[in-house]
Amino acid sequence: MVNKISTSVFLNPHINKEGKSKLYIQVLIDRKTKRYPLEIFIYPKDFCRKTKKVKGADKDRINRIILREINRINDIYLELRELGEPINFETFENKYFDKAQVSLSEIIKLHCEKLPYSRFLRYSTLENKLKALFGDDITINEISLTKIQEFDRSLKGLANNTIWDNHKDLKALINTAIRLGLYKHENPYKNFKTKYVQTMRTFLTADELALIEEKVDTFPDVVKKIANVFLFQCYTGLRYSDVAALKWENIRNNFIIIQTEKTNEIVNIPIVNKAQTILDKQKNSNDKIFSIPSNQKYNHYLKLVALYAGVDKNLTSHVARHTFATISIELGIPIEIISKLLGHKDLSTTKIYAKILNPVLSEYMKKWDK
C-alpha cells in the first residue's frame, strides 16, 4: 500500500514575550508526524483552529504562504508517486530540503525550532553577515574551511569573545545540518579553532550594593524605578530578559518559578525579604510585574543609578546577575545551589564567579599587612 502525505497547520502553544506563537506545517506520513516551522508568529486569537486559517490584519499574506507550502508538499508527494519511490520522511525530506541546496534560512529554522525567539534573532543576524560576505544564495553546504577562514577575517576588529560567539553559532548550525543529514562534508570546524578569553566580570561588593539600597529613595522617580528593578535582579539573579517578562503568575508560595528565556531551564528562586519589599511596591493590575524599557535604555539609566549612588562602576543588567552570584558565594551558599538558582546547565559556568573573587579576597587580606 502506498503511503499518503497529509498536511495541516499547527500553532505552537508556547507564547513569546510579544504574546505571539509560531506557526508550523504539520506533515503526517504512515501515522508518524513531523512539524516544520514557518517562522511566522501570530497572536493566538488570530488562528482559527477549525479552519486552520489565520485571521487578522495580515491574514491574506500569511494564508498565501501557508497555501504555497502545502501545495509544495503535495507536489513532492505526486513526484514521489510518479517516480515509484517509497513515501516516507526520508524520501520526503530529501525533496523538501533538496539536501545539496539547503539554505542558511532553512537550517536556522530547524536549529531554532525549540529555542526562544531571541535566539532566532541572533542566528538571523549571523545569517545577514554571511549573506553580506558570500551572497544571498549561500547554502549550508557551501560553508567550507576556506569560507570560515574568510568569515573570520571579516570579523577582525571585533572583541575576541564576540568573534568566538559568531563561530560558536555557525558551528552549531553546521552540527545541526550534519545531524539531519543535510551537510555532505566533514565538519570544517575540526580544522579551525577559536579560543574564548575569560574576562573579568564586573560586580558590586556588598558595600557598593548597600550604597544603592541606602540612597535609592532619594533618586529621581524614573531612576528610582530602574534602581529597584536592578536591586531585584541582585536579590534574585534574574537576567534582563527574565525580569522584563516576569508576571504575577510566576510568583507562587514565596518562590519565583519561571522558564528562562535563554536556556529554557525551569528555575525556582526563593524570594528573600529585600526582594519581597520591592514586589510589594509594584502591586498593580498589570500582567507583568515590572515595566522596563529596552535593554539599551535600561543600561543607560543604570549609569545614572551609579552616579546618584556614588558607585564608581559601569552598571549594566549583567552586573546585577554577577553581583547575586558573587555575594551568594561570599555568604557561604554552596556553589551547586547558586548554579541551580542561576539556571546554569554546567557547574563550571558558576565556578567562574568563585575564581573572580580570588583577587578581591587578596585585596581584603592585604589589610592585615597595614
pLDDT digit string, tens, across residues 5-51: 999 999 998 888 788 898 999 999 988 999 988 878 999 999 998 99
CA separation, residue 119 to residues 126, 232, 261, 274 (Å): 11, 25, 9, 32
Using alpha carbons only, what angle is made at residue 224 by residues 221 and 225, rounded to the nearest 5 degrees?
90
Residue 1: the pLDDT is 60
Using alpha carbons only, what angle is made at residue 308 by residues 318 and 319, rounded to the nearest 5 degrees?
10
364, pLDDT greater than 60: no
Residue 226: the pLDDT is 96
Residue 265: the pLDDT is 79
Residue 368: the pLDDT is 53
**For residue 342, which of 254, 263, 245, 255 has the smallest C-alpha distance?**
263
Residue 221: the pLDDT is 93
- Kindly list the strands in the beta sheet with 255-259, ordered across the sheet, starting from the edge strand earlier in the chain: 251-252, 255-259, 266-270
**For residue 357, which of 320, 331, 318 has the smallest C-alpha distance?**
331
**For residue 206, which of 311, 316, 300 has the smallest C-alpha distance?**
311
Residues 109-132, mean pLDDT to the nearest whole number: 86
Half-sphere exposure of 230 (CA within 13 A, CB side): 32
Residues 87-93, mean pLDDT to the nearest whole number: 87
SS3 196: coil
**Spatial separation of the C-alpha atoms in residues 232 and 161, rounded to whole Å:** 28
54, pLDDT greater than 70: yes
DSSP E strands: which ranges in the chain?
A: 5-11, 21-29, 32-42, 47-48, 53-54, 251-252, 255-259, 266-270
Q: Where in the chain is the domain with CATH 1.10.443.10?
A: 206-369
Residue 369's pLDDT band, with cuts at 50, 70 and 90, is low
Residue 262's pLDDT band, with cuts at 50, 70 and 90, is confident
Residue 355: the pLDDT is 60
Residue 148: the pLDDT is 94
Residue type, 150: E
Distance of alpha carbon 332 from the chain centroid: 30
Residue 55's pLDDT band, with cuts at 50, 70 and 90, is very high
| Chain segment 164-199, per-residue pLDDT in tens | 999 999 999 999 988 887 887 788 999 999 888 776
Residue 225: the pLDDT is 95
- Can you spell out the DSSP letters for 60-95? HHHHHHHHHHHHHHHHHHHHHHHHT---SHHHHHHH
| Chain segment 95-117, per-residue pLDDT in tens | 887 655 778 888 998 888 877 77
Residue 62's pLDDT band, with cuts at 50, 70 and 90, is very high
Cell numbers standing for residue 167: 563561530
285, pLDDT greater than 80: no
Query: Chain-wide mean pLDDT for the chain?
Result: 86
Domain at 206-369, CATH class: mainly alpha
- Contacts with 333 (C-beta within 8 Å, 6 or more apart), sequence order: none
Residues 264-286, mean pLDDT to the nearest whole number: 86
| Chain segment 299-320, per-residue pLDDT in tens | 999 999 999 999 999 999 999 9
Cβ atoms within 10 A of the Cβ of 177, count?
26
* CATH 3.30.1490 describes domain 99-197: no
186 torsion bin: left (phi>0), alpha (psi -120 to 50), beta (else): beta
SS3 261: coil
**Spatial separation of the C-alpha atoms in residues 249 and 258, rounded to whole Å:** 9
- DSSP letter, residue 287: S
Distance of alpha carbon 107 from the chain centroid: 17
| Chain segment 311-361, per-residue pLDDT in tens | 999 999 999 988 998 888 888 888 788 888 887 776 666 666 666 555 555
Residue 212's pLDDT band, with cuts at 50, 70 and 90, is very high
Q: Where in the chain is the domain with CATH 1.10.150?
A: 99-197
Residue 84: the pLDDT is 85
